[in-house]
Structure 1
Amino acid sequence: MDHPPLPYSSTAFPVDGPPSLAAKYWLDEAYISDIDHFIKTLSGIKAKGVRPDLIGSIITHYACKWIPELSGELASPGDTNHQLPPGNATVSWLKKRFFIETIVSVLPPEKEAVPCSFLLRLLKTGNMVGVDSNLLEEVEKRVAWRLDQATMKELMIPCFSHVTGTLLDVELMIRLVKRFVEINVEGLRSGAGLFKVAKLVDAYLAEAAVDSELALPEFMELAGAVPAQARSTDDGLYRAIDTYLKTHVNVTKEERKTLCKLIDSQKLSVEASLHAAQNERLPVRSVIQVLFSEQAKLHSNVNWSRSIVNPKSPNLGSGLADRCHSSRDIMTLQQMEMKRLKDHVSKLERQCQLMQSQIDKLLEKKKGFFSWRKFANTTNLGALSVEVNERVEGRGYDSGSIGKQTPVKTKQGRSKTPKPWRQSTS
């Protein structure tokens, strides 16, 4: 069976390698003979017609024995089989690369033969030791085929590129998601896994958003790689965007608007909507959309509940169990409305307190002016009341006639007194 050529000459060693190692073989003969023996044994097993999944389990078991990183566990201290002495890191790195290239070349053609977890660890280690790009692309295709079976921990592959400064290999994740979506669009697999991948993408974005080196185009490309209909709720996407805005404080206003367009306000839960309505990092337009969406949901639920309670409803007897909200949902709506009213009242109280403090400041500034004016008004009113009392006692008018004869100010500010009053004082 064909397998990668074995470098038996010292010229296969990199030119920039250590001179002491360049004088020796690239890999020792025992190591090469062991791999050759494994490939011959595997060829004999395939010739007997063994199932591909059994062949995949054999390859997985053999690879985990040679490279403990592929098993997801560290090697035990007592296991010295095929281990290099300390200080020979370069040879160990070359052995890992050669071994992974050999393993990838003998994988069964069936994509379901090898678990997705093993493929992701193989991809991670291959990126770390610099495996050939064509072989890594083959592993990526196999991972993309079974991406819905991956876990969040396995997808956290570090970035080993010197060009990109991000902690996680976001570009790799973008390629995997796009290939998985293409496979589902072509109908090669059922669309049920697309919902799982959408949740994985949102969780991955929330973790990657903490990195300050993550650029906005990469974030938006990964978020938009999943179709909108694949997300049953946008709570995870909202959490990732909020984390990104919290970390990247230098994002411009236009970039915030573009980023928040990815969120469908109608797909947010009650808790996420309440958080978004009070989130100062979101643009005003996005907050207004969330408020309108929640108001529309509330009105539709109230109208719908009224139609159920109304006995004259023609659809009361048909499909009641399918359309009726549970008591818990109704209580949730009521609690949401009460909380909204409490928040509104608290906001009004804060505004009133602010206005009262401003009024107090203005009164303190004009305290002298208002006090003199008040004293003048009080003096004039006292003199006027004494004069009226004297005239009433002298003429013997009753209280009703006094009220009718009281001088009245006109629009020009002059006091207009009736003629009988003027004659009485002359």
Structure 2
Amino acid sequence: MQHMAKKATIEAETNNHHSATLFELFTKMKNQSYQQECSNTTNFQAKSPSHYSQFSSECWFDDAYILDMDYFVKTLSGIKAKGVRADLIGSIITHYASKWLPDLSAMDMAEKGLTEFEESPENVTASWMKKRFFVETIVGVLPPEKDSIPCNFLLRLLRTANMVGVDGTYRQELEKRISWQLDQASLKELVMPSFSHTCGTLLDVELVIRLVKRFVSLDSEGAKSGAALVKVAMLVDCYLAEAAMDANLSLSVFVTLAGALPSHARATHDGLYRAIDTYLKAHANVSKEERKGLCRVIDSRKLTPEASLHAAQNERFPVRVVIQVLLSEQTKQNRFQDWSGSLFSGTRTSPNNGGGYGNAPTRCLSKREINAQQVEIRKLKEDMNRLQRQCNAMQVQMEKMVEKKKGSLFKWKKFVMPSAFSKGLSMVEKIDENDEGEVGFGRNTPMDLKTKLVKCRTHNKWRKSMS
């Protein structure tokens, strides 16, 4: 009778207080039947999904309940049997696990409090064994639904599992779940250190390669959308830029991760170009042939004008790659110019211009298509103007440098005249003063100067005889 009374009380409170959350019912059941067997948990009444949606993420379990893991697992099994939504069960698991292990929380280390693992006086080995048992237990009670647990929480759980050496079966299960939700992962959680003694890199790049390949296999089966594949491509490019700074990262591993995605996954190759440039900066001893093989991953046709301009001035890239980028950019500009010219030349032909019935009919563009094309043309013109301004600025700088070099090589020196020649000039100046009343010989021609010099040297007797 007492058992039936408790059941009626819970049902009445459930019907009267529709705003009660799942956490409140779960805590109330724990307070009433904490010392009972797992069979008593069948008195729990599941609510409708609309009421479950009110579950607050700020609800926390008390410490006394946290320490009793066995009772939590048993109670969670009873909740699953009652058909509670998988995402709510996942919320309970994530809160419980984050309270037990601060490493599984999304908070910073300064905000994470002490738990039973840090306060325990046991040695480090025993603490790690306890963490391993806890992680394996959490992985075992995860809901089978794929999107019931956040991807970032699964990544943190996998990091802890690798750190404490969890069995490979549990790690494979976590990798399988993460690969299904890889498009929801963040770069902060994906940058995972390597805990293997045989791995020479700082980051676990092999793990990311396995996750990406599994995700691509799901995409090839049609289980994922194109938007998810684009997100994963952007995430991989950002991860490559972070991992490229590792001096121990081999070229083969870098190329394997960069080529793990299909060609249609990347709309632009700017992120991939930045990652390769970072790798070449950190690995200056890469040979010329290896640079060529690394740059084959980039499709120059998918580079934006900004990236193409940077690549054209990049000394770390091979000359052939730079020429290919320039030719590709020139081809794109010519194509857009031809396209814009054909757009504004008109899409209709009148009968007087030969557009009779024998010609193929042309489709008239809609107003929306014309506006979209005009916007694209305007953007292209702005990009071309910006490139032209940059080229002009570079040309001005080059001219200034050339002028500075000429000024340093050709300096004027003072011209020292011989004494005899200066005396001759003084005589010529005197003649100029007597004849014309002006000083200087710069205004006379060489023949005039020679005539005056001859006249100056002629004796008087010759003048009389000649006259």
Into which bin does the TM-score normalised by the smaller protein fall? 0.7 to 0.9
Correspondence for 1:36? 70
- Which residue of the other structure, out of 333, 351, 371, is the alignment partner of 2:384? 333
* 1:216 aligned to which of 227, 237, 251: 251
Residue identity opposite 2:204 in structure 1:
D
- The verdict on how the C-alpha distance between 1:198 and 1:312 changes in structure 2, with shifts beyond 3 A counting, is closer
- CA gap of 1:351–1:290, structure 2 versus 1, over 3 A, is farther
Deviation at 1:259, TM superposition (A): 0.5
Q: CA deviation at 1:343?
A: 3.1
Shift of the 316–292 alpha-carbon distance from structure 1 to 2, 3 Å rule, reads: farther
- Unmatched 5+ residue regions in structure 2? 1-63, 350-361, 414-445, 452-467
What is aligned with 1:14? none
What letter is aligned with 1:106? V
Which amino acid letter does the alignment assign opposite residue 387 of structure 2?
A: M
* 8 Å CA contact 1:181, 1:226 repeated in 2: yes
Q: Which residue of structure 2 lines up, in the alignment, with residue 50 of structure 1?
A: 84
- Contact kept in structure 1, 2:311 and 2:325, CA below 8 Å: yes
Contact 1:64–1:70 at 8 Å: present in 2 too?
Answer: yes
Of residues 272, 287, 296, the one that matches 2:322 is: 287
Aligned pair partner of 1:70 in 104, 122, 126: 104
Q: Could you tell me how far apart the structure 1 residues matched to 2:159 and 2:403 are?
A: 60
- Report how far residue 321 of structure 1 moved: 2.1
Q: 8 Å contact 1:198–1:231 — kept in the other structure?
A: yes
Q: Quick one: distance in 2 between partners of 1:177 and 1:76?
A: 32
Q: Number of residues paired by the alignment?
A: 348
Residue deviations 1:270-312, cap 9 Å, x none? 1111111100000001100111111112222222333334358
Aligned-residue sequence identity (percent) comes to 56
Which structure's relative contact order is higher, taking Cα pairs within 8 Å and 6+ residues apart? 1
Distance change >3 Å, CA 126–CA 75, structure 1 → 2: farther
Matching residue of 1:243: 278
Alignment map for 1:2-13 (pairs within 5 Å): none
Q: Answer yes or no: is 1:61 the counterpart of 2:95.
A: yes
- The verdict on how the C-alpha distance between 1:258 and 1:107 changes in structure 2, with shifts beyond 3 A counting, is same
SS at match of 2:267: coil
Gaps of 5+ in 1: 1-29, 365-383, 390-426
The residue number in structure 2 matching 1:343 is 394
> Would you say the 8 A contact 2:117–2:127 is kept in 1?
no
Question: Structure 1 residue 241: deviation in Å?
Answer: 0.4
1:318 alignment partner, SS class: coil
C-alpha separation in 2, matches of 1:77 and 1:180: 32
Matches within 5 A, 1:23-422: 34-73=68-107, 74=109, 80-81=115-116, 83-85=118-120, 88-310=123-345, 318-319=365-366, 320-325=370-375, 327-343=378-394, 346-347=397-398
Instruction: Please list the CA deviations of residues 89-130 of structure 1 after superposition, one character each: whole Å capped at 9, or x if unmatched.
Output: 222111111110111122122111111111001001101111
What is the distance in 2 between the residues matched to 1:64 and 1:220?
36
Partner amino acid for 2:93?
A: I
Tell me how far 1:385 sits from its aligned partner.
7.5
TM-superposed deviation, 1:76: 6.0
Deviations 1:39-70 (A, max 9, x none): 21122112212222222222222211211111
Q: Which piece of structure 1 moves more, 246-255 or 182-191? A: 182-191
Cα deviation for residue 342 of structure 1 reads 4.2
Deviation at 1:178, TM superposition (A): 0.6
Calculate the TM-score normalised by the size of structure 2. Answer: 0.66
Question: Residues 110 and 316 from structure 1, CA distance in 2 versus in 1: closer, same or farther, beyond 3 angstroms?
Answer: closer
> Is residue 307–residue 313 contact of structure 1 (8 Å, CA) maintained in 2?
no
